Amino acid sequence: MVTKSVEKEINEQILREEHSSRIYIAMASWCQVNGYQGAAAWLYAQADEERIHQLKLIHYLDDRGGNAQLSDLEKPAHKFKSLLDVFQQVLKHEEYISASINEVYSVSIKQSDFATSNFLQWYITEQTEEESTVRGILDQIRLAGEDKGGLFMMDKELAALAAKKRASLLAMAGMNAGV
Ligand code: OFO
């Protein structure tokens, strides 16, 4: 059984993961109409991954005697200055999500809910990986600078990363048939 404060924290995280998915769909759409098909594919895959993160939390909370609840979400941004701007915002958002997961973790420890702390370890590891991936993408976009050829190659690279992400999402969905 989860305590009321752990339930509240997890419900807030459920909304944040859903919001992440919507933010990335909006970014993907901007990339698609601005000629960055690889970046769009990566962001659409990332949006699907965030939805899996959301569902994993929903199933966990309901399985532990809590009740997952959805709520209204703010409208995501639809305008960006450049591909660099998009990925700078992705990194900023992922850093915010990492901090929020740490907060949920810290409440679970204060409540001596070690099952939840244990469950959240997966998210902590996931965030470390996601931040590192996005920092790598940003480094390459910065290296390309204003060079159209460099950005074209970067977009191709993102298409390859998107295909890899899709494959791992399919494997993840196979392991979590309920998700
Ligand atoms: Fe960005 O990953 Fe969810 O938690």
Residue appearing with tokens 């990194």: 91
Q: How confident is the model at residue 146 (pLDDT cuts 50, 70, 90)?
A: confident
Per-residue pLDDT tens digits for 160-174: 999 999 999 988 777
Residue 83 has pLDDT above 80, yes or no: yes
State whether the beta carbon of 18 lies less than 6 angstroms from ligand 1: no
**Closest ligand 1 atom to the C-alpha of 46?**
1
What total of structural domains would you count in the chain?
Answer: 1
Domain that holds residue 13: 4-175
Residue type at 14 in one-letter notation: I
Counting every residue, how long is the chain?
A: 179
Distance between CA 45 and CA 31 in Å, rounded?
A: 13
**Closest ligand 1 atom to the C-alpha of 17?**
3
State whether the beta carbon of 116 lies less than 6 angstroms from ligand 1: no
Residue 90 has pLDDT above 70, yes or no: yes
39 Cα to the center of ligand 1, angstroms: 18
Residue 175 has pLDDT above 80, yes or no: no
147's torsion region: left (phi>0), alpha (psi -120 to 50) or beta?
beta
Distance between CA 159 and CA 169 in Å, rounded?
A: 15
Of 27, 122, 126, the one to substitute when testing ligand 1's pocket (max ligand atoms within 8 A of C-beta) is 126
82 Cα to the center of ligand 1, angstroms: 23
Residue type at 69 in one-letter notation: Q
CATH number at residue 105: 1.20.1260.10
Mean pLDDT for the stretch of residues 35-51: 98
149 Cα to the center of ligand 1, angstroms: 31
Residue appearing with tokens 């679970």: 108
**Closest ligand 1 atom to the C-alpha of 94?**
1
This prediction has a pTM of 0.94
Distance between CA 65 and CA 112 in Å, rounded?
A: 16
Per-residue pLDDT tens digits for 97-119: 999 999 999 999 999 999 999 99
Phi, psi of 113 (to 5 degrees): -95, 80
